[in-house]
Structure 1
Amino acid sequence: MEKDKHTVFAQEVELEEGAIHRLTSVQSASSVFDPLANMLSKQVEEDAYAQMHIEDDSPYAEVRAAVPSTDDTSMPQNTWRVWVLGMLMATIGAGMDMILALHSPQFFLSTFVVSVLVWPLGRAWEKVMPNIKVLGLPLNPGPFNIKEHALITIMANIAFGNGQAYATDIVMVLNLHYNTFFGWGFNLCIVWATQCLGFAFAGLMRKILVEPSNMIWPSTLVTSTFLTNIHINDNHVANGWKISRLKFFLIVFAASFAWYWFPGYVFQALSYFAWPTWIAPNNVIVNQVFGAYSGIGLFPITFDWEQIAGYTGSPLVPPLSTIFSVAASMVVMYWIITPAIHYANVLYFQYLPISSSSTYDRYQNTYNVTKIINSDLSFNLEKYKAYSPLFLSTTFFISYGMSFASFTATIVHAYLFHGADIWHTLRHWDNANPDVHYRLMKSYRGVPEWWYCIVFAIFFALAIVAVRAWNTEMPVYALVISILLAMFMLIPIGVVYAISNIEIALNVVTEFIIGYMVPGKPASMMIFKTFGFIVNLQALTFAQDMKLGQYMKLSPRLLFACQLFSGVWGGLVNCAVMKWAQGNIVDVCQSTQKNNFTCPGIRVFFNASIIWGVIGPTRLFSEGQLYYGVLFFFLIGAALPVVNWLVLRKYPNSWVKYINWPVFFGGSSSIPPATPYNYATYCTVGIIFNYFIKKRWFHWWSKYNFSLSAGLDLGLAWASMMIFLCLDLTNADYISWWGNNITYDTMDMTKTAIRVVLAEGEGFGPTSW
């Protein structure tokens, strides 16, 4: 019977293929903002629906193409296979992500890695394990099915889908930069509270964010398509290619694993392939313009997948319109405006590297925060006036402006182009527009709201313990405000994200609020930001996976248990691996760490604690201060979507319909620690696959694109781990030859490409601060 259902679904997908091909050209995660694209998409959607003659299905064509409209309630879900493989993947993934987060460039495992890797493990389990019961659960309930696969994928996504637990950055910064150690109790309380409070919020608001049919959550459709394709196992010919997705993935994985040993160990120049800097290693302009590490990477070539996907994820997954918007942002803001203001010496930029995630003092040295704080980590104004104001590199300055603009641009753009959708969802919170997937879920017992209330009470108590049992100087009222901010912003942010796949980040807002609320307290700033920002982000992650559970028809109570346990376990693994890394990796998080475990993300987090927590926004961004002008980005971000909206009302076919300001300002948010070099290579690969290959060989792209991405990610992850285990743990040296040494002999890699170099003891900047 199940085979018949899969056959019917495969026929439906095949029948709709032509319409979907047209649909993908006009509808994507970011083009939802475009009214013209909406109109074209709706017409194509109606054509596709008429073509399929489906009376009871989702009203959205992209959902119909990705999700079966049937369910087999007899399919086993709560099995030992789910729990063992799910917790195994959560453990390995959370541990690897914690280690990889310390490396430069950063790299995080994709959930596609788990989706593909667990498939042969599940199939092996069904062939090897005996069919007996252990503690009432069948050890081998039969064929490894799509629901088990989806549950394992969700467990892994909760444990490490957003990278390592964000709160570990607080612990690392306190330990390494402020020489403050609160111990295991604090570490676990702060990690578990920030990771799991969002689970309670997502569950309590699931009737608004998950159950309605118009809450699509586009990224879940990619996972749903991937899982459905594997379990349908329809190995059709795609542009002449007959190999199955699984075999293709295994070949790519093996090739990626073997290849990374060259840029990662044997021939490291293949990674930072900034060859103009090799020709002129001591030329400041050449290293600033073409540098890959501390330059703007004007000639972006690399043979290292980690450079391409390390900071932003695989470029094979996002829609083309998003990649084009990111490319436009990178070119305009970092290849045109950045060098323009740098070489004009605006705000003393020529005294610093053009691209760096570090903060500097007036002597061109890394800012020494210990010179401006008291023993209790509080700010000392007299020491600050005697020492130095804080200076930012050019790309760091631009990145703050981009963050400010993206926040206001997304809110205004969402209000203008999605206001009706948001209001409709809020008015009809009781799900006035149910679809077949919501109705099919009625066959399963739901989760009562009081379960989520208990979860909230437990982790809110842990949050209070974390800030009061240790000397964090974080007032409880500030903790409550940060959690309320995360909660009240969840509905508007969640609705926009579920419809458009555009996320509004609260990191800038939380930094602003705590910088004025509790000035001069870096620990308080980091904790407030993490609760306000990450609790909201984690809630989106939990809600997104709840939607995948609805699409895959997973038991809500089983999903509740899987999400909760994987969230708690992932946090524990992160804490354990973090402490192990601090004790076993020599010079971890130091700029001189020989194997590039320099902790770029933690360095940015530390710099943010100085900017917003120690010195505070009043002394940096208020009127009359050095970086006051960056605040105008808030106004720019708010104004530009209004211009688009007014123009499109009068001229619907105007070229401005191609400009997506939220993606333009927010797409390059990882700079720093990423550089324009990383984003340029990312966009180049994304355009090749999502435009040229997709347009020319659409069937090949549909069948193999996500398998290619997963294979590259997994091969890189395992090769990186093997190099780490073989070399870093044994403190072995890398091969010393030209192919490894040439990159480290340039001003780009040493971050010494500075146009104006001061004499010893000489300073620059304003005369008073």
Structure 2
Amino acid sequence: MASILRRLGLRASTNTTPSDTASKRSEDPAPDSVEKDKTNAFTTDAQVAGDLSLDPDATGPHVHTAGDETLVDSDPALRDLPWSVRRVVSLVDDPSEPTLTFRYFLLTIIFVVPGAFLSQMSHFRTTSAPYSVFFVQICANYVGIWLAKCLPTRRWKVPFIDFEFSMNPGPWSTKEHVLVTISAASGATYNLAYAPISIAELYFNTRINAGVAIVFMWGVVWTGYSFAAISRQFLLYDPQYPWFQALCQTALFETQKKDREHTTPTSRKQMIVFFSVLGGVTLWQFLPEYVFPMLGSLAFLCWVAPHNATANFIGSGFGGMGLLNLSLDWSNISALGNLFLLPFWTQVVMFVAFAVNCWILIPAAKWGNLATYKHGLMSNSVLQANGTSYPLTKLVTATGTLNTTVYEEYGPLYFGAQMLWGIFFSYAAYTSAIVWSLLFGWKAMKASIKKIQARRSSTKGQTINFQYTDQLNILQRSYLEVPIWWYVVLFLCSFLAIVPAVAAGQLFIPVWTYFVAIATGAVMVTPLGWLYAISNYQLPIGTFNELLYGIMVNAVGGHKNPTGATVYSSIAGDAWYRAQYMLQDQKIGHYMHIPPRATFFSQIFGCTLGIPINYAVVRWVLSTKREILLGVVSDPTNQWTAQSLKSSLSTSVQYVLVGPSAMFKEHIFKPLPYGFLVGAIAPVIFFALHKAFPKSKLKFHLWNTTIFFSILTNFYGNISTGYTSAFIGSFVVMYWAFRYRYNLWARYNYLLAAAFDAGYNLNMLLIFLCFGSGKLIAMPYWWGNNEQSSERCFAL
């Protein structure tokens, strides 16, 4: 056991208090002889990330304390760190702090088990109880402090091995706190592989063996975590990539640490602000979410003309265009991301995409000639030619093949106009992500790769972060790096977990498609990770995965069970999805000076612990709610609807049974493949404009076409409120306050981001427990909760 801990880069727990003396800077390799070019990756990407490299209030050199040293901004250890990082992240470290202690394991189990249960259960329900990582971060701190006071301090010797430990090695440490939260972020969540397991049993009466199912669920997560190795050398260690969600959590960790260890008037005020806002948001959300739903969509045009159909359609946020519509519901305002975290340029692009979607394309389709098929304009259902819902389940035989008799009876499948252009732009976003990252991000990535090669040759293969000379990487040199073979072993575990099951025919896909899935996932890790690191925007690409699988199986023949599309999408999707989250949480570890091997272990331990809980929930729901989920028996609470599963079944039937070739021959689907071409060309145009007019006020390098196209796919017709409110809030917080009240912004912005999200999630949990977990308790109707329309759009 002791040898295992040493390999993890840890010390055995002791009864001593962590040293008050912060570690000094280790010997720093000679800095590069050439001054960093101002047009280099840092300057360019810092501007892309919101000009965070510049302090608006800077009037001279700033002074920072790093252990026993004093550093100024021009110091090589500081100059590469964005200003937001310098203002939030501590530049000192105490390597003696305990990490993987008894308290860590105990709290990880306490927080992961219920989180995995609630998160997985929510995907079968209409409403859910969100399990926020901020909830864990807040609660774990106070439980950890309590454990440090009450647990026995005696040392325990493990029989038969030379190892002893203490259940209480001293005061509750920040590193234990961070590791518990990272484990919860990995394990207290749902698993993407639940969809094929559930669809196979619900709709095709095929129950996947429990052992195969659990191993498959582990495998898809391990694939994504192993793929983090592809990009970590520059997306993780390069200081130019801020990872705003990681910075947000770090701000809260640092504030909690100061309040716990060295309380100052500033830290006390920060905690007062945090808990005041958390409590205020928690109480406020009872109004739009339950008592006063009208606050969720303030449709001013409906108030002026409540019985005018045109005015209602234009002004409604629930089923209309959302023009002149505001929302005071955080769930609507933060639908596309926390406005305190998204850089202002990102939110400008998102709002423009929303305006194009709702205020240009929708009226052009409704009142113009944009769409030839006029049914279901703002519906995400699959329709018949007459506009009625298509009975998709009748298309599938008991053996999972196309029922040609039913298909001939009901005819081709149709989509509403908005869903059609949503598919078109989802294809465009996919190719745009690749091309944009190559054009605008390749310079930064190439510079990082060259640094890696140069440093490795000069330092004779020392740890990865020797290539960077910033203070955070210098501090991390005190710890052993995660070797690449750990990631290789993790991938081999996922490979051995999935391939035998696929080869045995238990997962509905041909073996060769598995290799295509992991290859496409590997290709997308870097461009999508780069986009997420600089913009805090995560691109969904599930539609493309299902399309690609449909093309492959229809070209080769066989394997026509629609469940195969969700199996393939689970593997390919998690390959990049989990990689991004692993890098994000490792960035938290980097900011908080956690030993990299301890961070890696905490992530694997968290997901390994949570997945059996995920599967147990799937089994419980499918065993007890099967007839309700299928609609055979009425659900008195109207909660167990399995909406996400039905959506997955719909796309699977389209792409696998009907097939892309047959689908794209239909006149309304013919334009869709051109989305790939549009996505490839658009970044080239903006790159050319940026090169031709580098100093233009239009800032062409900020108009990210990937985000723009992706937002055009994210709006599904039933909710168009919140976007205008989010843009107004973003202007105040991320533009005005950042530029003109920077010191105030730097002190409170990320704390407010955490407080708003934590308050919202706590409110959802309370509403679920009080009004929806047992008997559904509805709010009585009144003026602010009109039975016909909470917005008072009576003619919609």
Tell me, yes or no, whether TM beats 0.5: yes
Q: Which moved more, 1:174-183 or 1:441-450?
A: 174-183
Once the two structures are superposed, the pairs formed by residues 73-84 of structure 1 within 5 Å of their partners are 73-84=95-106
Letter in 2 for 1:511: E
Matches within 5 A, 1:24-35: 31-32=47-48
Partner of 1:71: 93
1:620 is matched with 663
Distance 1:58 1:91 in 2: 43
**Does the C-alpha gap of structure 1 residues 596 and 272 become closer, same or farther in structure 2, counting only changes over 3 Å?**
farther
Q: What aligned pairs does 1:35-434 form with structure 2 within 5 A after superposition?
A: 51-52=72-73, 54-57=75-78, 59-62=80-83, 63-102=85-124, 108-134=130-156, 136-160=164-188, 164-178=190-204, 180-182=206-208, 184-203=210-229, 206-207=232-233, 209-213=235-239, 217-233=243-259, 244-274=269-299, 284-309=309-334, 311-344=335-368, 346-352=370-376, 354-430=377-453, 432=455, 433-434=467-468
| 1-structure distance, mates of 2:535, 2:330 | 28
Question: Aligned match of 1:663 in 677, 695, 707?
Answer: 707
Offset at residue 430 of structure 1 (A):
4.4
Structure 1 pair 106–281 and aligned structure 2 pair: CA distance change class (3 A): farther
Identity %: 23
Judge which range, 316-325 or 485-494, deviates more: 485-494
Greater helix share, 1 or 2?
A: 1
The residue type paired with residue 244 of structure 1 is K
**Residue 209 of structure 1: CA displacement?**
4.7
Cα shift readout 1:70-91 (whole Å, capped 9, x = no counterpart): 3221111121222222332323
Q: Give per-residue Cα distances to partners, 1:543-602, cap 9 Å, x unaligned.
A: 232233233232233223211111122222333334445536995597987555655544
Q: 1:724 aligns with which of 759, 768, 773?
A: 768
Deviations 1:432-480 (A, max 9, x none): 3323444433333344444333322222222234435565431111112
1:195-233 Cα distance to aligned partner (Å, 9 max, x none) = 121222324764455345556545433333332233234
Kindly state the Cα deviation for residue 492 of structure 1 after the two structures are TM-superposed. 4.7
For 1:577, the aligned partner's letter is V
Shift of residue 189, structure 1, vs aligned partner: 3.0
Cα deviation digits, residues 592-619 of structure 1 (max 9, x gap) = 8755565554443333223323322222
Do 1:315 and 1:682's aligned partners in 2 also have CA atoms closer than 8 Å?
yes
Q: Cα deviation per residue 1:509-565 (whole Å; 9 max; x = unaligned)?
A: 322321110135421111112211222211222123223323323223322321111
Aligned position for 2:650: 607
Give the number of equivalent residue pairs: 725
2:542–2:569 Cα contact (<8 Å) kept? yes
Q: 1:383 to 1:340 in 2, by over 3 A?
A: same
Q: Which residue number corresponds to residue 649 of structure 1? A: 691
Q: Flag the 1:92–1:208 CA change in 2: closer, same or farther, 3 A.
A: same
- 2:745 counterpart of 1:701: yes
Per-residue CA deviations over 1:710-763 (Å, capped at 9, x if unaligned) read 33333333333333334434324414323586255589999x96xxxxxxxxxx
TM-score computed with the length of structure 1 as normaliser:
0.83
1:80·1:139 contact (CA, 8 Å) conserved in 2? Answer: yes
Structure 2 alignment gaps of length 5 or more: 1-17, 26-41, 64-70, 159-163, 456-466, 555-559
Tell me the distance in 1 between the aligned counterparts of 2:242 and 2:737: 27
SS in 1 for 2:318: coil
Counterpart-to-counterpart distance in 2, 1:497 and 1:693? 23
Contact 1:110–1:710 under 8 Å retained in 2 = no
* 1:327, distance to aligned residue in structure 2 (A): 0.8
Q: Residue 566 of structure 1 is aligned with which of 588, 598, 606?
A: 606
Matching residue of 1:759: none
Whole-Å separation in 2 of the counterparts to 1:706 and 1:581: 38
- Distance of 2:526 and 2:785 partners within structure 1: 52
- 1:142-172 Cα deviation digits (max 9, x unpaired): 2222212221221122225xx6322223334
Q: In structure 2, do the counterparts of structure 1 residues 68 and 674 end up closer, same or farther at CA, with 3 Å as the change threshold?
A: farther
Q: Distance in 1 between matches of 2:60 and 2:659?
A: 54
Q: CA RMSD in A?
A: 4.0
Tell me the TM-score normalized by structure 2: 0.80
Change (3 A) 1:683 1:96: farther
* Separation (CA, whole Å) in 1 of partners of 2:339 and 2:592: 26
Structure 1 contact 258–719 (Cα < 8 Å) conserved:
yes
Cα contact 2:215–2:498 (8 A) shared by 1: yes
Partner residue of 1:510? 545
Quickly say closer, same or farther: Cα 1:331–1:154, change in 2 above 3 A: same
CA contact (8 A) 2:625 2:640 kept: no
Q: C-alpha separation between the residues in 2 aligned to 1:749 and 1:91?
A: 43
Q: Deviations over 1:35-60 (max 9, x none)?
A: xx699899999976995353534623
Distance 1:267 1:635, change over 3 A: same
Distance 2:743 2:341 in 1: 16
Structure-to-structure mapping, 1:483-632, within 5 angstroms = 483-495=518-530, 497-498=532-533, 503=538, 505-519=540-554, 520-581=560-621, 583=624, 587=628, 594=637, 598-622=641-665, 625-632=667-674
* CA–CA separation in structure 2 for the residues paired with 1:245 and 1:473: 53
Contact 1:326 / 1:667 at 8 angstroms: preserved in 2?
yes
Task: Check whether the contact 1:197–1:455 (CA below 8 A) recurs between aligned residues.
Answer: yes
Q: How far apart, CA to CA, are the structure 2 residues paired with 1:380 and 1:637? A: 35
The separation in 2 between residues aligned to 1:219 and 1:391, in whole angstroms, is 39
